[in-house]
Structure 1
Amino acid sequence: MLRILFMVLLVAIVCSCGAIPDKNIDPAKNNVANFRKDLKECGEDYPEQASGVHIRQWQGCMELKGWK
């Protein structure tokens, strides 16, 4: 039972991490360096939480920075 719960949680985490926007609407900013910088800033603004709510906050933050 515990093994199944762990696997479901792991799949949920992996799927949610893939949902962070990775294409910027501004072609000049659409590169790995800007993506990492913006993601780091969002991570500083919204620290990780055990509940996983920080992932939604990071998604919103990245969208505000122009990432889709």
Structure 2
Amino acid sequence: MKPSTIVVLLQAYTQLQQLASVLYAAAEAALENNDFDDASLLASRADKLYEEAENLDILISELEGE
């Protein structure tokens, strides 16, 4: 795999982690305001992004091991 591909995947991984963090923080703020539906939606979306980031991390590790 080309190093440039791994670099782009690492950048995507970092951005996904950052986006998930923003959504988790927003979910927490919604919970503090008793906006349970909003908090649930935000946390759910954050979970999906976090899961995708973890999948990318595994892929990157495999590619770096080649």
TM-score with structure 2 setting the length: 0.38
Q: Which has the larger radius of gyration?
A: 2
TM-score with structure 1 setting the length: 0.37
